[in-house]
Each structure stands twice: as structure tokens, then as C-alpha cells.
Amino acid sequence: MEINQKRPYLKYFLIILSIFLIANIINFLRSDSAKTLNLTINKSHLTEANYTYSSSNVHKITFVFYYSHGDDIVQDELGTYELNNFLGFHNFDPFNLLNHLAGKDKDKGVINLSLMNEDNCVYLDCYSSKDASQPTTISEVNLQEGISFDDYQFKFESNKKLEDKNVYTVLEGSTENNDSKIQIYLIYE
């Protein structure tokens, strides 16, 4: 008698589980596995800029400092920001469970870039607005000894480099005579 009473609940449970699995499979098949990052400048000032990003299938962003003066080229990795793609209570979506398990993750967040001219320092604060995570600070002091950021005119950008699909230029600086150039760009993987 008890078994017959539990069968209707079992039937409803199996129907709900089937709908959940079918929705996950359809969502998984419809989603793209390509890595994309959209970067937009919200506001910029003389020495700082605020960017928002939205990403799909991107797991980390690496920031690179580039300096060129004639034939002299210096390239230095500032640091890496791991995106908020872990499965947690705040970003649990039962209909995207298969996508998450397969590495097809989405994130939205903010990148703040600040220049400290007196120390030739770049500060980057990155955080996910999707899960309200704590900011990750990436900074580098005295990037090029012997030069001063004060001698450069900086322009904040969010332009994608054409020769490499996974690279954005976020800052360009040049001197009056244009014989040296400073860039900060990000590579997403």
C-alpha cells in the first residue's frame, strides 16, 4: 500500500528530472564554445579608466606592459586575473550545469586601471560583478627606470588588436617626438 502511494511522487520526480536534463542538453548544444571578451570603457580621466567586461569561455586575463624606443623593446607581464567561473552558491544555475561542467562559463566584471606617474606604477583592480567578488589588485612599480610617465600623453582605449583575436589594447602612451611608446594590453584565454 505504501509503495502505491509513493509512485505518483516518483512519477512527478522523473518528469521534473527529465525536463531538467533536456533543458540542460538543449542549452549546451545551443551555446558557443568560442572564447569571447567584450571590453567597454565606462569613464576615463587623465590617469585612470574604468572598464566593464563580459566574457564567455574565458578563464583568465593576462595584463602586459610594452615599451618601445627605437630598436629597444621591453615587454613585461604585469599579472594575471582569474575570472569568476567557479560554481558556487551565488552563481548556481541549474539550467547551465552542463555548460559549466564543460568549461563554457560566462562572467561580467569591472577593471579599473590607474597610473601613478611619480612611481611609474600601474595599478589594475579587477573584480567580478556577477558574484560581487573581492577585487584582485595587480600592480607593478618602476616599470621603466630612467623614463618618466610624466613625459607621455596617455590615451585609454578598448580596441581589439586585429592581428591577434584575443588581445585588447587598454592604454597607449607616446612622447611629444613620438620616438618611444608605452602600451598596456590584455590577453584573454
pLDDT digits (tens, 9 = 90+) for 31-50: 666 788 889 999 888 889 99
**Domain total in the chain:** 2
Same domain? 43 vs 119: yes
| C-alpha 157, offset from chain centre | 15
**Parent domain of 122:** 34-188
The pLDDT of residue 132: 60
Same domain? 103 vs 177: yes
Same domain? 106 vs 25: no
Which has more confidence, 132 or 91? Answer: 132
State how far the alpha carbon of 115 is from the alpha carbons of 52, 86, 95, 182, in Å: 18, 31, 42, 12
Which has more confidence, 98 or 54? Answer: 54
Same domain? 48 vs 115: yes
The label of the residue with cell 589594447 reads 169
Same domain? 15 vs 39: no
3-state secondary structure of 64: strand
Question: Following DSSP, what letter does each residue of 44-95 receive, concatenated?
Answer: E-SSEEEEEEEEES--EEEEEEEEEETTEEEEEEEEEEE-S-S--STT--GG
Position 151 confidence tier, pLDDT thresholds 50, 70, 90: confident
**pTM for the whole structure:** 0.75
Distance CA 96, CA 31 (A): 10
How many residues are recorded in the chain?
Answer: 189
